[in-house]
Amino acid sequence: MRLWSLPLRGRVVVLTGASSGFGERTARRLAVEGARLVLAARRAERLEALRRNLPTEAVAVSADVTDPAARRRIVEAALSAFGRIDVLIHNAGLGRLDWLDNLAPDEIDRMIDVNFRAPIHFTREALPHLVPGGHVVFVASLASFTATPPYVIYAATKFGLKGFADALRRELRPRGLRVTAVYPAPARTEFTAHNGESVFLPFVSHPRWLFLDPDRVARAIVAALKRPRAHVFVPGWIRPIAWAEGVVPGLVDAVVGPLFVRPFWAREARRRVSPERRPAP
């Protein structure tokens, strides 16, 4: 059992996707710990409201992490306000859950850009400014290990993010920098807001009691900063699910078919032939 704990007071933390969900909850917990925060998200009003209510020094930067200029602005804001970066938390994420042939090309590209390309480029941008003992955290997903049909593109981005985090951890360890990947189960956030008319929407929206409290993920992120680990599963009992995909993939395939493909494809087939979706003659 680890008895030591790294203090967070005074550390400079850059946090993306900070205006809601895991990001907002993590910001609040880091503020209580005394960390100094650089909060980034697209929704300026919500971000500024959060900043004003935090009991710590904080800077809000309205930014889209897929924009190279915006990523530079976030780094510059951290250096201007605090002179350094101790922690970079990649929390911004996007999921559009649907069958592949229902996803528009721009929806596919947007998920890849937000979930995969942006963390890579942002890490590269911030890396020269991370102090010794610095820490990079990636908020990935259980979908980094177990891919189910509605997550076809989302899972691909999270698989890629896990690979990047693993390689980066080994690359940066000799330089005295830490890397952690966090793998949450589905949680009660605004994640489902992008799912339109998908037949999977009832599954990802109800019943809400089945989904993880986002504050539990925030607690796990803060705990990983205080006691660094390579992999954090939230909750811990989902680890065997991730293990099963690598050890007995055939069993996972046998389970996924009845649970996801058959019932939801039957709904999709009915939806595609419904009168309101038939093309005009």
* Pick from 121, 116, 194: nearest CA to 155: 116
Which tokens belong to 62? 């309205």
Hey, is 125 helix, strand or coil?
A: helix
Range list of H helices, 97-184: 105-112, 118-126, 152-172
Domain range annotation of the chain: 12-246
Q: Please give the Cα distance from 144 to 118 (Å, whole number).
A: 17
Choose the catalytic residue: 154, 164, 191, 264. Answer: 154
Report the predicted TM-score, pTM, of the whole model to 2 decimal places: 0.88
Amino acid symbol at 213: D
Task: Give percent of the chain above pLDDT 70.
Answer: 83
154 among known catalytic residues: yes
Domain 12-246, second-level architecture: 3-Layer(aba) Sandwich (3.40)
pLDDT tens by residue, 190-235: 665 555 555 555 555 555 555 788 999 999 999 999 999 999 999 8
**Could you report the per-residue pLDDT of 75-111, keeping only the tens digit for each?**
999 999 999 999 999 999 998 888 898 899 999 999 9
- Amino acid identity of residue 118, one-letter, is A
Phi first, then psi, for residue 52 (nearest 5°) are: -65, -25
